[in-house]
C-alpha cells in the first residue's frame, strides 16, 4: 500500500514539474499611424489560432510554451511583425509540442500582407473581415481550418495555400475578394467551400498529389471545372460534362463565374452543389 502511495506521489510531483515548465507571454501593440502591416508567422508545431481583434489593437499575440525547450519571439519594426518560436532542442520540443500554442488577433482597420508558415499540429484561422492585400499559408503535417465568413474590405490579387500531408478545410473563399486562388496539397484531404460574396469573377487552381478533394459550390454561382488528367475519379452530379470540363447549369447566366482548374495525381474528386 505504501509503495502504491509513493508511486502516486511521484506521478503528482512529475505533473507539477511539467506544469511549472509551461509559461505564457502576451504581446500587444496599439494602432497608431500604420497604413499597411506585414505579418510573418513561422510556427513549427503546436496549436495556432488566428482571428480578428479589437479595432484599437494592431495585434495581440499570446504564446503558451515549454520554457525548457523554446522561447517565443515577437519583433515589430516599421510596419513589419515577425512571430515565431526559437527552439533549443528541436527534436524534444516536437515530442512535447502538444502544450505549445499561439493565439493571434489582428486589426480589422489596417490593410495587411499575411504570411503563415505552420508545421505540425492544428491551425484554426478565422480571416473574416480582415483587410488582406496578400495571403500566403504553408502547412506541414497538420489539420487546418480556414474560415472567411465576412467579406475582405480590400481587393486582393492572389492567395496561395500550400499543405503537405494534411487535412485542410477552407470555407467562404468568395469572401476573400480575390482574383486568383492557388491550392497545392501533397497527401491528405482537402475541402474547398466556394461560398461568399464573390465581388468579381475569379479563378481557383488546385494541384494535388494523393488524396480526396471536395468542392462545395453554391447554387447561385456559375462554376466550370477543368481537370488536367484522366486518372482521377470525379463525381459531379448536376453538372454538364464536355470532355474534361464540367459546367454548372447556370454557367452562362450566373452573375458571378468561377473557373476551377484541377491537377491531381491519384484520388477522388467530388463536386457538390449546396443551397
Q: What is the CA radius of gyration of the chain?
A: 22
pLDDT at position 53 is 96
Cβ contacts of 238-243, under 8 Å, gap ≥ 24? 238/273, 239/271
Q: What is the DSSP letter of 31?
A: -
Determine the Cα–Cα distance for residues 150 and 176; give it in Å rounded to an integer: 8
Q: Quick one: how far is CA 98 from the chain centroid?
A: 19
The grid coordinates of residue 190 equal 482537402
pLDDT for res 89: 55
Can you give the pLDDT at residue 166?
Answer: 84
Rounded to two decimals, the pTM is 0.88
Ranges of beta strands (E only) in 68-155 are 70-77, 80-87, 101-106, 112-126, 132-139, 142-147
C-alpha cell at 127: 480571416
How many Cα atoms are found within 13 Å in the side-chain-facing hemisphere of 96? 17
pLDDT mean by block of 10 residues, the chain; 275 residues: 41 44 92 96 92 94 88 94 79 56 96 94 96 96 94 97 93 98 95 98 95 96 88 88 93 98 90 94
pLDDT number for residue 84: 92
Please name which of 173, 185, 103, 101 lies closest in space to residue 141, comparing C-alpha atoms: 185
Q: What are the helix and strand counts (H, E) for the chain? A: 2, 17
What single-letter DSSP state applies at residue 146? E
Tell me the H-state helices in the chain: 2-21, 90-95
Q: How far apart are CA 265 and CA 207, in angstroms?
A: 9
Q: What confidence score (pLDDT) does residue 44 get?
A: 82
By the 8 A CB rule, do 192 and 173 touch? yes
Q: What is the pLDDT of residue 231?
A: 65
Amino acid at each position: 500500500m505504501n509503495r502504491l502511495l509513493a508511486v502516486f506521489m511521484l506521478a503528482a510531483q512529475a505533473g507539477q514539474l511539467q506544469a511549472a515548465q509551461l509559461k505564457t507571454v502576451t504581446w500587444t501593440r496599439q494602432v497608431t499611424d500604420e497604413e499597411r502591416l506585414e505579418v510573418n508567422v513561422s510556427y513549427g508545431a503546436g496549436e495556432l489560432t488566428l482571428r480578428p481583434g479589437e479595432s484599437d489593437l494592431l495585434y495581440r499575440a499570446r504564446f503558451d510554451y515549454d520554457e525548457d525547450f523554446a522561447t517565443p519571439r515577437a519583433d515589430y519594426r516599421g510596419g513589419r511583425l515577425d512571430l515565431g518560436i526559437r527552439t533549443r532542442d528541436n527534436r524534444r520540443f516536437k515530442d512535447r509540442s502538444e502544450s505549445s500554442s499561439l493565439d493571434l488577433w489582428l486589426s480589422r482597420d489596417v490593410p495587411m500582407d499575411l504570411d503563415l508558415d505552420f508545421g505540425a499540429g492544428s491551425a484554426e484561422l478565422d480571416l473574416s473581415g480582415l483587410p488582406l492585400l496578400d495571403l500566403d499559408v504553408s502547412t506541414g503535417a497538420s489539420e487546418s481550418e480556414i474560415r472567411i465568413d465576412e467579406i475582405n474590405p480590400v481587393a486582393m490579387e492572389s492567395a496561395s495555400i500550400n499543405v503537405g500531408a494534411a487535412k485542410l478545410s477552407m470555407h467562404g473563399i468568395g469572401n476573400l475578394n480575390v482574383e486568383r486562388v492557388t491550392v497545392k496539397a501533397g497527401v491528405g484531404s482537402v475541402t474547398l467551400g466556394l461560398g461568399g460574396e464573390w465581388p468579381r469573377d475569379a479563378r481557383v487552381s488546385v494541384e494535388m498529389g494523393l488524396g480526396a478533394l471536395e468542392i462545395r459550390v453554391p447554387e447561385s454561382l456559375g462554376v466550370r471545372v477543368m481537370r488536367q488528367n484522366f486518372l482521377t475519379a470525379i463525381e459531379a452530379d448536376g453538372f454538364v460534362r464536355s470532355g474534361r470540363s464540367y459546367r454548372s447549369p447556370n454557367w452562362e447566366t450566373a452573375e458571378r463565374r468561377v473557373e476551377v482548374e484541377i491537377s491531381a495525381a491519384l484520388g477522388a474528386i467530388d463536386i457538390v452543389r449546396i443551397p
